[in-house]
């Protein structure tokens, strides 16, 4: 059962004027026309409208309050027995499947029956929401973002994971991989007497490549920090 008071951000004893004020504020924020028809905002707007239409009508509100009270009592009984009402993740998604260094990605989610929600590695988040983060990662091929929804009353949780491909890492990897593969092979050297010298030079080149990777990464960080 959806908590219409929670959706509008008001209390169960809020006045009609308070409900109208909350509805106006949320409608302006989540209206699809102001958010390019984004699915997350469209769904939230529908919930806001449903909550408002119920709570603004005295008879509908009285009926809803009665059902909500009964639902809450049943929920507390089951919670005391340590069963049912497990947390759920209705959806969890990212705006992109891949990213480059310093690029922004928006995550959207909706959980049910959860009082503690976190988005790893970013931190605690509301049970329902949307957040945009700037990703500063070039060292890992994949960025794993994990949404955890917990119902602390019954000590149960559920997780959902989104894996994002790191395009910056892939470009750096391919660049230096091609550079190494294009180096002449040891067995292609006509004079075997030069093999030892070649190996030493190859080691020096490999060390140079490692230094170059580090320098390039440091350069990228400095450039973005100055922007």
pTM of the model: 0.48
Convert the pLDDT of each residue in 83-132 to its tens digit.
357 899 999 999 888 888 888 899 999 999 888 999 988 888 889 888 88
Instruction: Say if 170 falls within a structural domain.
Output: no
pLDDT digits (tens, 9 = 90+) for 119-151: 988 888 889 888 888 888 777 788 899 999 998
* 134 and 160 part of one domain: yes
Range of the structural domain that residue 73 is part of: 4-81
Domain boundary among 31, 46, 81: 81
User: 76 vs 3, 13, 73, 83, 181, CA distance in Å?
Assistant: 15, 21, 5, 10, 65
Domain assignment of residue 142, yes or no: yes
Number of domains comprising the chain: 3
Contact status, residue 62 vs residue 131, Cβ threshold 8 Å:
no
State which of 61, 81, 101 marks the end of a domain.
81
> How many residues in the chain?
227
Q: Are residues 161 and 212 in the same domain?
A: no
Shared domain check, 42 and 24: yes
């Amino acid at each position: 059962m959806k908590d219409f008071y929670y959706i509008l951000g008001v209390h169960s004893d809020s006045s009609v004027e308070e409900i109208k004020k909350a509805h106006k504020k949320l409608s302006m924020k989540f209206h699809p026309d102001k958010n390019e028809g984004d699915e997350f905002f469209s769904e939230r707007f529908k919930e806001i409208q449903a909550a408002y239409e119920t709570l603004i009508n005295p008879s509908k509100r009285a009926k809803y309050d009665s059902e909500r009270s009964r639902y809450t009592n049943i929920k507390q009984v089951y919670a005391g027995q340590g069963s049912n009402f497990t947390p759920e993740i209705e959806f969890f998604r990212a705006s992109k499947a891949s990213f480059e260094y310093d690029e922004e990605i928006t995550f959207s989610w909706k959980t049910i029956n959860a009082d503690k929600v976190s988005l790893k590695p970013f931190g605690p988040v509301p049970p329902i929401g949307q957040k945009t983060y700037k990703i500063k990662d070039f060292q890992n091929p994949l960025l794993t973002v994990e949404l955890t929804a917990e119902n602390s009353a019954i000590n149960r949780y559920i997780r959902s994971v989104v894996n994002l491909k790191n395009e910056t890492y892939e470009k750096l990897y391919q660049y230096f991989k091609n550079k190494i593969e294009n180096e002449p092979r040891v067995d292609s050297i006509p004079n075997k007497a030069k093999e030892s010298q070649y190996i030493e030079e190859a080691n020096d080149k490999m060390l140079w490549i490692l230094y170059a990777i580090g320098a390039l990464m440091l350069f990228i960080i400095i450039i973005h920090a100055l922007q």
